[in-house]
Amino acid sequence: MATYKLTYFNFPALGEPIRFLLNFGGVQFEDNRIEWSNWYQIKSTTPLGQVPILEVDGEVLYQTIPICRFLGAKFNLLGDNEMENYKIDNVVQTITDLRMKIEMVNFDKFSPPNVVEEKRAQLKSETILFYLKNLELIASKNDGFLATKKLTWGDFYFASMIDYMNWMMKENLIENFVNLKRIYKNVMENDKIKTYIEKRPKPQMG
């Protein structure tokens, strides 16, 4: 039986889709939640100086999306063919692009406060709507799933990332998107995900 150890902060963000998938897969894993105060002691020991990393039988995997795709293959959460796998990758990259745009504003410590607020307003009125409308259109064709007409690792990635983006923007970004809400609900009401959420440590959200 494979052994798994996930190293990430006690915070959802980039570690959470991996935690979702490991819990869905029903495998035992070490959830190594590191403290921010210890990060600089650990950073130099990680590939690229970043986390999350997932150790599988001693092999160190890094970068969130490739790890999620790897786990998707293990837990039968890939598409049925190359085109479906492309569609999963496509929506995941779209979600990632949006997440990074929000992060650039949310964690902007250099611009004056009024400039940051202007950027946030533009995010809400233009950028976020643009991306979510695109994803909603895709989801509307897939019967409650994101990329294909069945549950894939992309659904887990979406549900965990939307929580993170909601936290950054301090609102429910998908409140008015019927199909995206269906996808989120499908993931969050999965018995294994519900059990994980009930028992997970309280995150340090800042």
How much of the chain, in percent, has pLDDT values that exceed 90?
85
Q: Please check whether the domain covering 4-75+191-199 is classified as CATH 3.30.200.20.
A: no
Copy the structure tokens of residue 64: 């969130």
Task: Tell me if residue 10 falls in helix, strand or coil.
Answer: coil
pLDDT of residue 155: 98
For the stretch 122-128, contacts whose Cβ atoms lie closer than 8 Å and that sit 24 or more positions apart, written own/partner, are 123/169, 124/169, 127/98, 127/101, 128/98, 128/102, 128/169, 128/173
76-87 pLDDT tens trace: 999 999 999 999
How far apart (Å, rounded) are the C-alpha atoms in residues 98 and 161?
A: 10
Average pLDDT over residues 118-146: 94
User: In this predicted structure, what is the pLDDT of residue 144?
Assistant: 85
Fold of 82-188: Glutathione S-transferase Yfyf (Class Pi); Chain A, domain 2 (1.20.1050)
Phi, psi of 63 (to 5 degrees): 80, 120
Q: Tell me: the pLDDT tens digits for 9-68? A: 998 999 999 999 999 999 999 999 998 888 888 898 999 989 999 999 989 999 999 999
Above 90 in pLDDT, residue 206? no
Q: Which structure tokens are listed for 51?
A: 């986390």
3-state DSSP helix/strand/coil % of the chain, to nearest 5 = 60, 10, 30
Contact 123, 102 (CB under 8 A): yes
Task: Write out pLDDT tens, residues 105-115.
Answer: 999 888 899 99
**Could you tell me the residue ranges of all domains in the chain?**
4-75+191-199, 82-188
| Mean pLDDT of all residues belonging to the chain | 94
At 205 the pLDDT is 59
Is the model's pLDDT at 161 over the cut of 90? Answer: yes
Q: Is the pLDDT of residue 116 over 70?
A: yes
Query: Considering only CA atoms, which of 163, 186, 183, 175 is closest in space to residue 11?
Result: 163
